[in-house]
Amino acid sequence: MLTEARSIRIKGRSFLAVVLTPDLPFEDWLVRLDDLARRSAGFFLGRPVVLDVGELSLDRVALKAMVQALGERGVRVMGIEGARPSQLDATLPPGMTGGRAAGDVDVPAAEAQSQPSAKAKQAEVQQIVAPVVRAAPSSLVLQEPVRSGQSIIFPEGDVTIIGSIASGAEVIAGGSIHVYGALRGRALAGSIGNSAARIFCRKLEAELLAIDGIYKTADDLPAELRGHAAQLWLENDAIMASRLI
């Protein structure tokens, strides 16, 4: 029995979701998605995803099969956009409307035939994105540090962080990553198959580093590089590193 009336606080909040827009035949699109996942391991890991089927002619059975196929690949669909009410039931993620575009993250045209498209839209999800300033169409500049728990995804090109990347934070870039402070979290460069991408930082204390899907953990870093300015690059399928003077 309630002895004291208490209010319930409900807040509205906008975060960033990755919106996948499949095309048909779906099996061919899945092949391209698998290729992206292989060359950019972890891209969808733990990330909320909205499935946009507004341009597809699907019945409920086909839609369920699509969601199931994505789930088997570790892609968690938290909502479906563009579906008719008759296509949805209690076993499917809820329908979503009103997402606000927050900048496309389509794979560049040169990769378009081998990669699936993804678009970023603001929705009620758990990923947090720091305030950004776009310096150019192929680069992203973050004026603020990337705090623990934040995830920055920019497949279009380079990412420059004026501050630091905190432990527990991650930055994923299609190009190179430049950190003008300490790199303590995770940095994944060349996420869409760019083996020429590099990672630069003023103070190397990273938890995890990756270039074009090749990974190096903190334990693999040379002791003489830790705490110093460094650059990392890919050479013969191995991540190389050196100090910057």
Those residues whose C-beta lies under 8 Å from the C-beta of residue 31, and which sit 6 or more positions away, are none
In a domain, residue 239? The reply is: yes
Those residues whose C-beta lies under 8 Å from the C-beta of residue 103, and which sit 6 or more positions away, are 120
88 and 53 assigned to the same domain: yes
- pLDDT by residue (tens digit) across 123-149? 444 343 444 444 444 789 999 999 988
**Rounded CA gap, 166 and 219, in Å?**
18
101 and 73 assigned to the same domain: yes
Name the pLDDT band for 205 (thresholds 50, 70, 90): very high
Half-sphere exposure of 64 (CA within 13 A, CB side): 10
Peptide bond into 116 cis (omega under 30): no
The answer on pLDDT for 231 being more than 60 is yes
105 and 142 assigned to the same domain: no
Task: For residue 187, give the nearest of 232, 127, 133 by alpha carbon.
Answer: 232
28 and 82 assigned to the same domain: yes
92, 123, 154 - which closes a domain: 123
* Bridge-based pairing state of the strands 100-104 and 118-123: antiparallel
119 and 141 assigned to the same domain: no
- pLDDT by residue (tens digit) across 70-91? 888 888 888 888 888 878 888 8
119 and 182 assigned to the same domain: no
In a domain, residue 159? The reply is: yes
The answer on pLDDT for 213 being more than 50 is yes
83 and 173 assigned to the same domain: no
117 and 137 assigned to the same domain: no
Q: Which of 2-6, 14-18, 134-138, 228-232 has the highest mean pLDDT?
A: 228-232
Name the pLDDT band for 94 (thresholds 50, 70, 90): confident
Q: Looking at residue 7, what is its pLDDT?
A: 57
Q: Looking at residue 14, what is its pLDDT?
A: 54
Those residues whose C-beta lies under 8 Å from the C-beta of residue 27, and which sit 6 or more positions away, are none
In a domain, residue 25? The reply is: yes
CB 53 within 8 A of CB 80: yes
pLDDT, greater one: 6 or 223? 223
Q: Looking at residue 120, what is its pLDDT?
A: 46
In a domain, residue 3? The reply is: no
What is the average pLDDT across 205-226?
Answer: 87
CB 49 within 8 A of CB 70: yes
105 and 141 assigned to the same domain: no
**Rounded CA gap, 45 and 75, in Å?**
7
In a domain, residue 87? The reply is: yes
Name the pLDDT band for 164 (thresholds 50, 70, 90): very high
In a domain, residue 7? The reply is: no
95 and 141 assigned to the same domain: no
In a domain, residue 164? The reply is: yes
Structural domain count, the chain: 2
Range of the domain at 177: 133-243
| CATH classification of the domain holding 108 | 3.30.70.260
146 and 65 assigned to the same domain: no
117, two tokens: 């498209």
Name the pLDDT band for 8 (thresholds 50, 70, 90): low
In a domain, residue 187? The reply is: yes
The answer on pLDDT for 62 being more than 50 is yes
- pLDDT by residue (tens digit) across 36-54? 776 655 566 566 788 888 8
Q: Looking at residue 91, what is its pLDDT?
A: 85
Mean pLDDT of the chain: 77
Question: Percentage of the chain with pLDDT > 70?
Answer: 72
| CATH classification of the domain holding 189 | 2.160.20.70
**Is the whole model's pTM more than 0.85, yes or no?**
no
**Rounded CA gap, 122 and 50, in Å?**
10
The answer on pLDDT for 104 being more than 60 is no
